[in-house]
Structure 1
Amino acid sequence: MGSLGVQPFQASIHKIEANLKDQLFYIEGTAAPSSIVSAIESTGRDAILRGSGKSNSAGVCILETHAKAVSDPVRGLARMVQISEEHTLVDLTLRGVSPGTYYATVRETGDISRGAASTGGIWGSIKTLAGFNQPRGVFGTIQVGKEGRGSTFLDQPVSVWEIVGRSMVVSKQQESPFQPEDQDTLVGVIARSAGVWDNDKTVCSCSGKTVWEERKEQTGKGML
């Protein structure tokens, strides 16, 4: 579960508060939001994530392929939660892609007009006398199985405000040149997401969709 260049941590839940009247749960910890929703759904109930992290400390990225031959381009979803000044957790899910190892990187720009090809280099590449340091935008890898699905929990020493507006690329290759018709190269712009109780209606400041609309849409696509 750990990302490249970062020590893995033990995900856990520290506190749970239940409001049975409003059917709401407040959960405090470092477990992946997707795993919490899945656990609740395993009891036969429906569940959505209303928010995570504090205000201005959560992000979301809808990952799409720019291959023209694909009718449904959405193939991934990344939720980001900042848990300390410079420590962000990324809950990454892929579906409908070919099996293999995929690299998740944050790029210099948010220009996805030509897919991954127009996003620029990996964010945070700093050259030293000894060469290039590990870029801050190298978030880690995700394994996709034979069924075309994969999920992972990555942690990275960055703040959410530093990456909002930039793009995320998930591909079998870490660096360009990316092929525009590669169905397994996914890209999306990182947007600010609602924090816990920050906004009980919208999941992302860019889409304006309610959490239930997003839930229905993503479930229909097999993402959740």
Structure 2
Amino acid sequence: MIRPFETTFAVPLSCEACIKDVSTSLFKLEGINKVTPNLKDQLISVEGTVAPSSIVKAIEATGRDAILRGSGASDNAAVCILETHSTAVPNKVRGLVRMVQVSPAMTLIDLTIRGLSPGSYHATVRETGDISRGAASTGGIWEALKPKQGTPPARGVFGTVEISKGGVGAIFTDKPIQIWEMIGRSIVVSKSQDDRFEKEDPDTLVGVIARSAGVWDNDKTICSCSGKTVWEERKEQVERGMI
């Protein structure tokens, strides 16, 4: 059973009617326990067991954008941007994995993909974070606990992602993993689960797992390095294929 966790989103809010509209849309989702709006800072905090990607879709259904600002507690959240290493693909970003640790031995994984060919894909955590040759240089599947016969798959096996005819797919699952164990490793999404990866395969995705902000840890409105607002950054990310 998934334990409730908290996520915070930046949402354009101008009045109490905006808050009511967003809250009504969110409470239509099964698994939402609490919605806490902050009109002054234009933030929405959500507590429950719903995938962050589903929360974003519910907010977008009201005609507003939403940016995930944090999940879980400090040091308990991670993110992985999935890209193809094929030189034939101009828009390389194809997916995003959000991870939040909700207990000492449980992490939730929210993986969303857009732009792949239809079919079944394997999502796995790899031994290393070396993506210099795409998926081919990431090593084998990470198995912090070696599975025995009749036991669940290795913790490095996130599961199978079904990509629709429209090129979209997602999984929301939990694994007995701690965030710190995965930082610096990589995630591979591919039709092949073995180590025979082709760098020029546009349907093989790879990315390095990095820490992300916990709830309330990230309150920036302007990026210090680029000078852009979070909304300007968001627009660029969407144009690149980020979900």
TM range, smaller chain: 0.7 to 0.9
Q: As a proportion of its length, which structure holds more helix?
A: 2
Instruction: Report the equivalent of 2:70.
Output: 51
Quote the residue 2:49 is aligned against. 30
Query: Aligned partners of 1:36, 1:144: CA distance in 2, in Å?
Result: 20
Say if 1:213 and 1:103 are closer, same or farther in 2 by CA, change over 3 A. Answer: farther
Q: Tell me what 2:166 maps to.
A: 147
Deviations 1:40-87 (A, max 9, x none): 111112221111111001111011111121112111111111111111
Q: What is the match of residue 14 of structure 2?
A: none
Letter in 2 for 1:81: V
Q: CA deviation at 1:163?
A: 0.2
Aligned counterpart, 1:83: 102
Tell me whether 1:120 sits opposite 2:139 in the alignment.
yes
TM alignment of 1:49-198, pairs within 5 A = 49-124=68-143, 134-198=153-217
RMSD: 2.7
Shift of 1:188: 0.4
Structure 2 counterpart of 1:216: 235
Q: Secondary structure at the match of 2:71?
A: coil
* Counterpart residue number, 2:61: 42
Aligned length: 214
Is 1:18 the equivalent of 2:34?
no
Q: Which moved more, 1:124-133 or 1:98-107?
A: 124-133
Percent of aligned positions that are identical: 66
Task: Tell me which amino acid in the other structure corresponds to 1:47.
Answer: A
Partner of 1:173: helix, strand, or coil?
coil
| Partner Cα separation in structure 1 for residue 184 and residue 204 of structure 2 | 19
TM-score by length of structure 2 reads 0.79
Task: Give ranges in structure 1 of 5+ residues lacking alignment.
Answer: 1-6
Larger radius of gyration: 2
Q: Distance in 2 between matches of 1:9 and 1:22?
A: 27
Q: How far off its partner does 1:194 sit? A: 0.5
Q: Relative to structure 2, which stretch is displaced further, 100-109 or 41-50?
A: 41-50
Structure 2 match to 1:3: none
Q: Which residue type is aligned with residue 165 of structure 2? A: K
Cα distance in 1 for partners of 2:124, 2:229 equals 28
CA distance in structure 1 between the aligned counterparts of 2:2 and 2:168, rounded to whole angstroms: 22
Q: Which secondary structure does the structure 1 equivalent of 2:242 belong to?
A: coil
Instruction: Note closer, same or farther for the CA distance 1:129–1:103 as it changes in structure 2 (3 Å cut).
Output: closer
* Distance 1:113-1:210 versus aligned 2 partners, 3 A rule: farther
